Amino acid sequence: MGGAVRFLAVLLLLLTPAPAWAAAGDQPWTGTWEAAPSGTAPALPGAAIRNVVHLSVGGHELRVRVTNRLGTTPLHLGAVTVALRQGQGPDAVPGTLRTATFRRATSATVPPGRDLLTDPVRLTVPAAADLLVTVLTPDDSGPATQHGTALQTSWVALVGAGHAADEDGSAYRTPISNWYYVAGVDVRGVATASVVAFGDSLTDGHGSTHDANHRWPDLLAERHRRLGVLNAGIGGNRLLRDGTGPGALARLDVDALDRAGVRFLVVFEGVNDINGSPTADDVSAYADAYRTLVARAHARHLRVVGVTLTPYGGYPAHTAAREKVRQGVNEFIRTGGAFDAVCDADAALRDPADPVRLLPRYDPGDHLHFDDDGMRAVADCVSRVLL
């Protein structure tokens, strides 16, 4: 399928609403939230972990992807509940808590290396809602699959027996800043497609305000409320090899192409390779990896947006040699013809007076990541070329 035909097919799908008469079971699932597993953490056996996740699109039915993808032993689930969050703490909106089931059972076992979807849960959730996903693991010995640096406070009831079903959050006294055991949430509703933001810490949100949902994928979701936006960013991730989490090509299917309703892929990855991979000076290696990634996405009929690598002069790892590689990689992203569209984030965020550096207004102080204004600039750039 040619690029123009692919674009028109995706656009038609996006603009076609589900029939008003369609029953919930007839509507397709669309991803509304994702956290790609990035590593492991010590298990908390007997605890109830109340994960706070921020949805992009709403729906009248949902399902949760529970993960033991990086675990080495079976994960026994004593209970999984979902509820809309009330306020800024661990309390649930009264009347919204639901117990999720797995083939109609309230407990389940997730084999090591696997994910497990809950049965559909009847709960109406609005766009931009905070959902509480509480997981009780009676005897998990770990390692526990997690997404680190969530930039979101979640909560733990350390003596968790029975607390998974509490609407009152008073038992949840221990704050944490990572997501345990949850890799995604899908909904059925008005959305007809989703976009996956695929990258490293720049996509994961490092540098943005904690508990504010100011990562650029969150801000992109504000601009496209008919699209589910899934954040598959992992801080420290790499394009050419494993880094924090499996490398981009190794995790492309499970973190992006296999997600529910995905029709768009935004690729913003490569700076960690420039700073640390053995082939860091070989621009052709990046070009080959991007071409492979795009070809695999095109085989699934996805529209793929490439994002140029932003400047990081002043960051300790920056050198003149690495800057030359960044410029070469960006030239390929802009002109190599691999991508269906290009967001030139380099041009949007660099300082015109010193193009190897970020504009000061976008720099949180480390000269690599973005503050909230920088995240907004990336979201604006992607939004202009996405559809």
Q: Are residues 57 and 159 in the same domain?
A: yes
What CATH number corresponds to the domain at position 226? 3.40.50.1110
In 3D, which of 187, 55, 58 has the Cα closest to residue 130? 55
Q: Are residues 145 and 261 in the same domain?
A: no
Q: Is there a domain that residue 269 lies in? A: yes
Tokens representing residue 239 in the block = 């394009």
In 3D, which of 323, 306, 313, 331 has the Cα closest to residue 368? 313
What is the rounded CA–CA span in Å between residue 270 and residue 234?
12
Q: Is there a domain that residue 12 lies in? A: no
Distance of alpha carbon 312 from its chain centroid, rounded?
23
Domain boundary among 122, 150, 184: 184
Q: Are residues 210 and 342 in the same domain?
A: yes
Q: What is the per-residue pLDDT for 141?
A: 86
The C-alpha torsion from 205 through 211 and 214 to 218, rounded to 10°, is: 90
What is the rounded CA–CA span in Å between residue 362 and residue 368?
10
CB 54 within 8 A of CB 33: yes
Tokens representing residue 202 in the block = 């720049």
CB 271 within 8 A of CB 202: yes
What is the rounded CA–CA span in Å between residue 22 and residue 96?
24
In 3D, which of 239, 216, 205 has the Cα closest to residue 326? 239
- Which residues have a Cβ under 8 Å from the Cβ of 264 and sit 6 or more positions away? 10, 193, 194, 195, 196, 227, 302, 303, 304, 305, 386
Q: What is the per-residue pLDDT for 276?
A: 85
Q: What is the per-residue pLDDT for 192?
A: 86
Q: What is the per-residue pLDDT for 9?
A: 47
Q: What is the per-residue pLDDT for 3?
A: 53
Surface-to-core class of residue 201, CB atoms within 10 Å of its CB (0-12 exposed, 13-18 middle, 19+ buried): buried
Domain boundary among 184, 201, 224: 184
What is the rounded CA–CA span in Å between residue 53 and residue 157?
17
Distances (CA, A) of 138 to 41, 68, 117, 148, 316: 16, 15, 19, 22, 44
Residue type, position 8, single letter: L
Helical pair 283-299 and 320-335, crossing angle rounded to 10 deg? 30
Q: Is there a domain that residue 200 lies in? A: yes
Q: Are residues 164 and 281 in the same domain?
A: no
pLDDT in tens, the chain (387 residues): 455 545 444 544 554 444 443 445 578 999 999 999 999 999 999 999 999 999 999 999 999 999 999 999 999 999 999 999 999 999 999 999 999 999 999 999 999 999 999 999 999 999 999 999 999 999 888 999 999 999 999 999 987 667 999 999 999 999 999 999 999 999 999 998 999 999 999 999 999 999 999 999 999 999 999 999 999 999 999 999 999 999 999 999 999 999 999 999 999 999 999 998 655 789 999 999 999 999 999 999 999 999 999 999 999 999 999 999 999 999 999 999 999 999 999 999 999 999 999 999 999 999 999 999 999 999 999 999 999
What is the rounded CA–CA span in Å between residue 264 and residue 303?
5
Q: Is there a domain that residue 295 lies in? A: yes
Q: What is the per-residue pLDDT for 20?
A: 41
In 3D, which of 294, 211, 304, 230 has the Cα closest to residue 264? 304
End-to-end CA distance of the chain: 17
Neighbours of 26 (CB within 10 A): 10
Q: Is there a domain that residue 22 lies in? A: no
Which residue is associated with the tokens 């969050």?
Answer: 85
Q: Are residues 285 and 216 in the same domain?
A: yes
DSSP assignment of 351-387, as one string? ETTEEEEE-GGG--SSSSS--HHHHHHHHHHHHHHH-
CB 172 within 8 A of CB 86: no
Q: Is there a domain that residue 13 lies in? A: no
Q: Is there a domain that residue 143 lies in? A: yes
Q: Are residues 179 and 211 in the same domain?
A: no
Q: Are residues 150 and 203 in the same domain?
A: no
Q: What is the per-residue pLDDT for 201?
A: 98
Q: Are residues 145 and 45 in the same domain?
A: yes
Q: Are residues 178 and 237 in the same domain?
A: no
DSSP assignment of 61-101, as one string? EEEEEEE-TT-SS-EEESEEEEEEBPTTSSPBPTT--EE--
Q: Are residues 176 and 228 in the same domain?
A: no
User: What φ, ψ does residue 292 adopt, rounded to 5°?
Assistant: -65, -45
Number of domains comprising the chain:
2
Domain that holds residue 300: 192-386
Domain boundary among 137, 154, 184: 184
Residue type, position 142, single letter: G
Q: Are residues 341 and 239 in the same domain?
A: yes
Q: Are residues 219 and 365 in the same domain?
A: yes
Q: Is there a domain that residue 129 lies in? A: yes
